[in-house]
Amino acid sequence: MDPIVELKNITFKYQPEDSRPAIDHVSLEIYPGEWIAIIGHNGSGKSTLAKTINGLLLPNEGEVRVAGQILSEETVWGIRKAVGMVFQNPDNQFVGATVEDDVAFGMENQGVPREDMVTRVKDALEQVRMSDFATREPARLSGGQKQRVAIAGVVALRPDLIILDEATSMLDPEGRFEVIEAIKKIKEESQLTVISITHDIDEAANANRLFVMKQGQLVKKGTPEEIFSEGPKLIELGLDLPFPEKLKQVLKERGLSVPDSYLSEEGMVEWLWTSVLNK
pTM of the predicted model as reported, rounded to 2 decimal places: 0.86
| Angle value at C-alpha 85, between 70 and 164, nearest 5 degrees | 110
Amino acid at site 146 = K
Full pLDDT tens readout for the chain, 279 residues: 899 999 999 999 999 888 899 999 999 999 999 999 999 888 899 999 999 999 999 999 999 999 999 999 999 999 998 999 988 887 877 888 899 999 999 899 888 999 999 999 999 999 888 999 999 998 899 888 998 898 899 999 999 999 998 888 878 888 888 888 888 888 888 888 999 998 888 888 889 999 999 999 999 999 988 888 777 777 777 788 788 888 888 888 888 888 877 777 778 888 888 876 666
Query: Which pLDDT belongs to residue 174?
Result: 85
Distance (Å, rounded) from C-alpha 155 to C-alpha 132? 18
Domain 5-241: which topology?
Rossmann fold (3.40.50)
For 120, left (φ over 0), alpha (ψ -120 to 50), or beta?
Answer: alpha
Whether 67 and 195 have beta carbons less than 8 Å apart is answered as no
Distance (Å, rounded) from C-alpha 47 to C-alpha 166? 8
- How many residues would you count in the chain? 279
Query: Which pLDDT belongs to residue 279?
Result: 61
Q: What is the domain partition of the chain in residue ranges? A: 5-241, 242-279
